[in-house]
Structures are given as C-alpha cells and as structure tokens.
C-alpha cells in the first residue's frame, strides 16, 4: 500500500488551498478508517478566523476535489476525508 | 414522488442555522446534505433509463432503488485520480466536472458516515455550512456537465461491468 508522509500531505493540502484562495491557518492530519474499513486519512483545514463564509461555493468545493485528485495522482491509496474548521479568534 | 434534493438542502440549512444548534442538528444537517446528492443521482439515473414522466410507476421505483450507497461510493472512488482506473466508459471529452462531482460525493459520503456514527467527533456550525455548500456545488457541477459525461457516469452506476 502506498502512503504519503504527513508532511507531504500537508504540503499538497496547503498548495491546493493557496491555489483556490482559501485562507488556511494550519492543516491537521489524523489516521482514520473509511466506510469500507480501509485505512483513511482525515485532513482538516483550520481556516483563519472569519474566513469560512468566504469559501462557500466553488472555492471550498474545488479545494476538496483538487486535494483528493492530487493525492490520488501521487499514489496515495488512503481515502482523504477532508473537513474544515474555523479557528477561533484570540480575545484581545 | 422522489425526495427533492433542494428540500433536503433547505432542511440542512435550517438545522445549521438554528440558534444554539446541537450536535444532533449539525450531524443531521451533514447527513441530509449527502442524501441530497444521493437522491439527486438516483433520480438522474431513473430519468435517463425511463424518462421524467413516470416517477410513480413500478419501473421507475425499480431503477431508483437499484442503486445503493456502496455502488455510488465505489464508482465515485474510481474517478478519484486524474486518470480514472478501470472504468467501463470514458467520455470522449473526459469526465471533467463529473470527476469533481464524484470526488465531492465520496468525501461527503465519508463525512456523513462520521456524522451519523462516529462518537469521537464533534462538528461545528461553520464546517456544516461548508459541507452543505459543497453538496450544492456538486449537484451544480453534475448539471453543468455534458450529456455524454452524465450518461457515462449514470450508465456505469446502473450497470456492472463483466
């Protein structure tokens, strides 16, 4: 089974987000299982505070699709389950 | 009448927009967003096979209910990469937006499994709204695809390669 390192996955995920103008604070990965019982990888985009509304529509959707596509093209066999989370703004 | 994908998405919107939305609200919203895509595809397949004028006939129901989640997930997963592996039909112009639709669909399916069954995850309002948005985009991409691309996808969904 071919798997990319977490660092490679994060690098690809950040590149896809940047290409779609998605403002990402960080990308988190975690091992997971998909619905078939196969090994999967959960990828969470932590968005900068207040930016989730701006990515609704094509920007978010393209980011998910292109990330899945690019990981597959690089031989990643685990299915990536892509999620978003908005970072909570620090209180001043 | 088949479930209306637009109604399911509006149901998701309402759950996610509730003041003080609970985890049950958000999980059901994500699940309904996936089901909007699922019923959209079932109707598209039945319409292609039998036409749009017969949703109450036994034949329409037979086609509509012949597709299950694992079948849809499996086909969508085959379109994950730029060069789809082992597919029976490749449109002359490639899969284009149908491949984007497929990737979003399988992601939302796995997301919905987490939302429906996984006790260790919590879901936020923001991510739920993005998931609903992704479901709308997936349906729009399918509808914007060429007829040849749609028919290739739906034919492979209905019929197994031997």
* Segment B88-111, tens digit of pLDDT: 999 999 999 999 999 999 999 999
> Residues B68, B109: contact at Cβ < 8 Å?
no
* Segment A27-69, tens digit of pLDDT: 999 999 999 999 999 999 999 999 999 999 999 999 999 999 9
Distance, in Å, from the CA atom of B162 to the CA atom of B147, rounded to the nearest integer, reads: 24
* Segment B112-136, tens digit of pLDDT: 999 999 999 999 999 999 999 999 9
Q: What is the phi-psi region of residue B18: left when phi exceeds 0, alpha when psi lies from -120 to 50, beta otherwise?
A: beta
Classify residue A1: in a domain, yes or no: no
What pLDDT does residue B54 have? 78
Helix or strand holding residue A24 (H, E): strand A24-33
Range of the domain at A16: 6-86
Range of the domain at B127: 5-158
Subunit contact B137:A61, Cβ cutoff 8 A: yes
Classify residue A81: in a domain, yes or no: yes
Classify residue A27: in a domain, yes or no: yes
Number of domains into which chain B is organized = 1
Q: Residue A14: give its domain's CATH number.
A: 3.30.300.20
When computed from its CA atoms, the radius of gyration of chain B, rounded to whole angstroms, is: 16
Mutate to test the interface with B, among A64, A67, A73 (most CBs of B within 10 A): A64
Number of domains into which chain A is organized = 1
The residue of chain B with its CA nearest to that of A87 is B126
Classify residue A35: in a domain, yes or no: yes
B chain contacts of residue A53, beta-carbon cutoff 8 Å = 129
Subunit contact A61:B113, Cβ cutoff 8 A: no
> What is the mean predicted confidence (pLDDT) over A9-18?
98
């Amino acid at each position: 089974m071919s798997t990319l390192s977490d660092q490679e996955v994060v690098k690809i995920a950040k590149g896809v987000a940047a290409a779609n103008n998605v403002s990402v604070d960080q990308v988190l990965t975690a091992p997971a299982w998909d619905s078939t019982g196969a090994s999967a990888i959960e990828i969470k985009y932590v968005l900068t505070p207040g930016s989730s509304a701006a990515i609704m529509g094509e920007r978010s959707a393209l980011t998910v699709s292109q990330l899945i596509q690019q990981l597959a093209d690089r031989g990643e066999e685990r299915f990536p389950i892509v999620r978003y989370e908005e970072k909570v703004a620090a209180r001043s | 009448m088949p479930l209306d994908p637009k109604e399911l998405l509006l149901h998701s919107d309402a759950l996610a927009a509730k003041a003080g939305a609970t985890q049950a609200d958000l999980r059901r919203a994500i699940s309904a967003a996936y089901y909007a895509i699922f019923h959209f595809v079932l109707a598209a397949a039945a319409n292609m096979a039998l036409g749009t004028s017969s949703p109450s006939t036994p034949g329409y129901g037979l086609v509509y209910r012949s597709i299950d989640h694992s079948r849809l997930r499996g086909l969508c997963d085959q379109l994950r990469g730029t060069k789809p592996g082992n597919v029976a039909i490749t449109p002359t112009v490639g899969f284009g937006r149908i491949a984007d639709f497929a990737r979003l669909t399988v992601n939302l399916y796995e997301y919905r499994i987490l939302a429906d069954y996984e006790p260790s995850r919590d879901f936020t309002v923001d991510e739920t709204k993005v998931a609903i948005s992704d479901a709308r985009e997936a349906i729009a991409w399918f509808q914007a695809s060429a007829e040849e691309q749609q028919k290739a996808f739906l034919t492979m969904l209905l019929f197994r390669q031997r």
